[in-house]
Structure 1
């Protein structure tokens, strides 16, 4: 018996003593896909021919060598990351990652054919695909307004782009046999205090209604809308606030996207999950890590991430919450950033799945808050790492920090050779 298996058997018995079935927990974890975000690999640049500079309040810092310059390079980097992540997962694509054979295709004219290579690759490597219209980094977004613009021509362009994006998402869902979540986020807002807060929100609602006018098969496609508290260039007013999109999702039957970095720094989205899922069927999570502001740092196994995972598992929300990552760090190896973020998210979910939830709920229902606090504290020193290492080994991913050696090898053999 290897040291990994020896430690696992010991850990399994310790958890069993707490009434936890480790094998059942691992089976549940294997059934939870994480949607990796393509934009970590190329600093949100995309592959548009003659595309605009990065905008919309999005900033990527760092110039670590080896950034992906083509879709083929990005897919290679994703494969390197996926090899070190246990389980089978998804990929979240933005519209600017279309492959157009060197031709300039405007965003409102994009079609599923421009993502056929992604779909073919996904069938071999992924559990599913998710999608986003790209309503930033474009001349018609330079004013700071897209779907809520006062200019009808600007609104119409972005409506058409979002309509085209839904059709692309539908094609992805049909091809993969699992619903594609197509998420709409826009950067619209004011840097300083506006007078009329209502009119832009009325225009946004009207635009979204046009975007979603055609009913699509929910077996292949789901619509999501994403809020934000503030952004660079929209510090004083964001049209698509949490309250706006919560109301919109409730009244139109859409998926609500909660981004961990899109609220006040003292807010956590974990408490919002059970609140919104009392009235919504599904939620999309963008798991990120803000440092002082919505700075999209690489996700770590911290208290906020643990709280999110706890809420998902304790509520039995695994099938109703779509988990995607949303960070971009160009100051470190980009492939390693994916591996660190996804593995941290999976560890948090595993920790939640290894909790004696039924027992904790019972002592809480009995009013025994002493036992609740004591049991939660004891859980913190249970041998999570031994179970995680077993899961990695059984999945063919490197155990412990050994994955970093593999990624360093990929960096030397592949990334370092990119100009």
Structure 2
């Protein structure tokens, strides 16, 4: 098998060289692009603060596949298994509800010490960590409002939670030598007709300004803000709309988060990347797959995933775009979901790196749109899979679907015993 892969790779290198693509250079670039895997796929967004509590905030994990992680130790073990089957660099994205504490800690009182085990684990695994305040599934978010809440005391609780989260995030960056990207998303909104749409947005604006007022070292921490179209229970009005957060990120020069499921069904974030980069210093992408709504299905190697990767590569945005994943499917093996989605995202990046972009750009500039379309379509059939398989071998992970047998064995030995 290895010999066949190596032979196919050498032939693929020649095919790509014929159209002016340096395969070794593409693989080297792919080696420098980490994907931030999301911890919440492993336990259906429950966390360890109150894992039996209801999941709220307009999000939903469906299914009851056996073996979800019940503790941080189990979650870390599951992540290690998934990461062992995924080639190339990775990061881990944590939510605040994944803290570890022997006694109850409310969210406005979280501290770095509550995530010390995660940092030690990240050091062992050679990973960077990213972070998120958790503004959902809490008694003080039960009416659908957090940072824009009309009650000053409740609003201050969420402000203090986000402030505490920033300090945790900065500690991650300091400890691990790579900045933590901290994303602020709030579920605030209303189910039905809303009379006063302005006041909640005024409160959200003021609250966010208070949250980010403390200056933190950008080598340790990066602020990001995320919009959403709607959620369950917030179908008619979302305080943190696209216009709100695009304006906020632009005026405050924070990073802007674009989630593939947070827009109208016919909108795609791939088309928003180049526009947003004109106005904000950085982007955080939540690569996901909406099916009719923001359903957070496992990422496929589909047209939109490919288009997102192509935008990053074509405009050389590697230092300005942070790539994270955001899906949670409880209807299938959760480790397999991580592996499928992350491998697909990396495949899309590799395919984009193997595109003869400069040749296509020259063809477009010359007005030869016939050649542009022909070349775009023909390059889809080039042997990128042979390059992918060789890259997997270099990282000592399965090059094909044989990784599934490893997951099945882990399921039988570990997951089914939970």
TM-score normalised by the chain length of structure 1:
0.98
Residue 368 of structure 1: aligned partner = 368
Residue 61 of structure 1: aligned partner = 62
Distance 1:49 1:328 in 2: 18
Contact 2:192–2:237 at 8 Å: present in 1 too? Answer: yes
- In structure 1, the gaps of 5 or more residues are none
- Counterparts in 2 of 1:254-273, with a 5 A limit? 254-273=254-273
- Counterparts in 2 of 1:70-219, with a 5 A limit? 70-101=71-102, 103-219=103-219
Q: CA deviation at 1:15?
A: 0.5
Cα RMSD of the aligned pairs, angstroms, is: 0.9
Distance 1:280 1:126 in 2: 29
Distance 1:51 1:197 in 2: 34
Contact 2:170–2:180 at 8 Å: present in 1 too? Answer: yes
Contact 2:46–2:53 at 8 Å: present in 1 too? Answer: no
Residue 387 of structure 2: aligned partner = 387
Residue 334 of structure 1: aligned partner = 334
Residues 159-186 of structure 1: per-residue CA shift (max 9 Å, x gap): 0000000000000011110110010000
Change (3 A) 1:253 1:4: same
Residues 194-227 of structure 1: per-residue CA shift (max 9 Å, x gap): 0111000000000001101101000110000000
Distance 2:34 2:336 in 1: 19
Distance 1:13 1:37 in 2: 37
Residue 39 of structure 1: aligned partner = 40
Distance 2:51 2:89 in 1: 35
Distance 1:358 1:237 in 2: 44
Q: CA deviation at 1:52?
A: 3.5
Q: Report SS of the residue matched to 1:2.
A: helix
Contact 1:34–1:89 at 8 Å: present in 2 too? Answer: yes
TM-score normalised by the chain length of structure 2:
0.99
- Counterparts in 2 of 1:336-351, with a 5 A limit? 336-351=336-351
Residue 417 of structure 1: aligned partner = 417
Q: Report SS of the residue matched to 1:316.
A: coil
Q: CA deviation at 1:49?
A: 4.6
Distance 1:228 1:254 in 2: 17
Q: Report SS of the residue matched to 2:147.
A: coil
Change (3 A) 1:213 1:356: same
Contact 1:261–1:294 at 8 Å: present in 2 too? Answer: yes
Q: Report SS of the residue matched to 2:272.
A: helix
- Give 4+ residue runs of structure 1 displaced > 2 Å after superposition: 49-52
Give the number of equivalent residue pairs: 417
Distance 1:49 1:232 in 2: 21
Residue 275 of structure 1: aligned partner = 275
Q: CA deviation at 1:54?
A: 1.0
